[in-house]
């Protein structure tokens, strides 16, 4: 058999498509033929590169690069500030409307109390997460 035939078997060997007898045959040839051995090593290397690439989800890399952009961080921080400001305004408005007004309805008071408690929990968790990840954030230096 010539090398051309073995080249096809080498691909099959790497893809685990050969039976035991074929594996034996191609391995014997690989131990004798340096050219096919080089081809085999080359294919193995490329296959490993392909496999190691798929270990990392492409969207992870895209998202990481996205959050590294200064604009992304600015937009996220600005959005957070706006949410907090809006939240405080709504709380102040709800407080004067439902709690200070003697005619304020019970439903409004319950809604406001729920809103405040829920907000405190969400902001509290976000704050704790920020403080704990801040210490270990690998991009801390890039931020500033």
Closer CB to Zn ion, 3 or 117, in the complex: 3
| Minimal distance, residue 71 CB to Zn ion, in Å | 55
66 neighbors 36 (Cβ within 8 angstroms): no
Q: Degrees (nearest 5) of the Cα angle 77, 81, 87?
A: 145
| Minimal distance, residue 5 CB to Zn ion, in Å | 9
Residues that bind Zn ion (CB under 5 A): 3, 33, 36
List the end-to-end C-alpha distance of the chain, in Å, as a whole number: 65
| 3-state DSSP assignment of residue 139 | coil
| 3-state DSSP assignment of residue 78 | helix
| Minimal distance, residue 15 CB to Zn ion, in Å | 19
Closer CB to Zn ion, 40 or 98, in the complex: 40
Closer CB to Zn ion, 30 or 112, in the complex: 30
């Amino acid at each position: 058999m010539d090398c051309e035939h073995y080249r096809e078997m080498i691909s099959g060997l790497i893809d685990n498509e050969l039976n035991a007898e074929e594996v034996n045959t191609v391995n014997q040839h690989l131990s004798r033929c340096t050219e096919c051995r080089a081809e085999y090593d080359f294919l193995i290397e490329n296959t490993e590169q392909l496999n190691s690439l798929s270990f990392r989800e492409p969207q992870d890399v895209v998202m990481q690069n996205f959050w590294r952009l200064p604009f992304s961080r600015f937009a996220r921080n600005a959005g957070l500030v706006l949410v907090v400001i809006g939240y405080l305004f709504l709380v102040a408005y709800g407080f004067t409307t439902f709690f200070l007004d003697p005619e304020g309805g019970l439903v409004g008071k319950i809604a406001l109390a729920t809103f405040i408690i829920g907000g405190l929990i969400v902001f509290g968790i976000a704050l704790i997460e920020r403080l704990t990840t801040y210490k270990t954030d690998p991009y801390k230096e890039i931020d500033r």
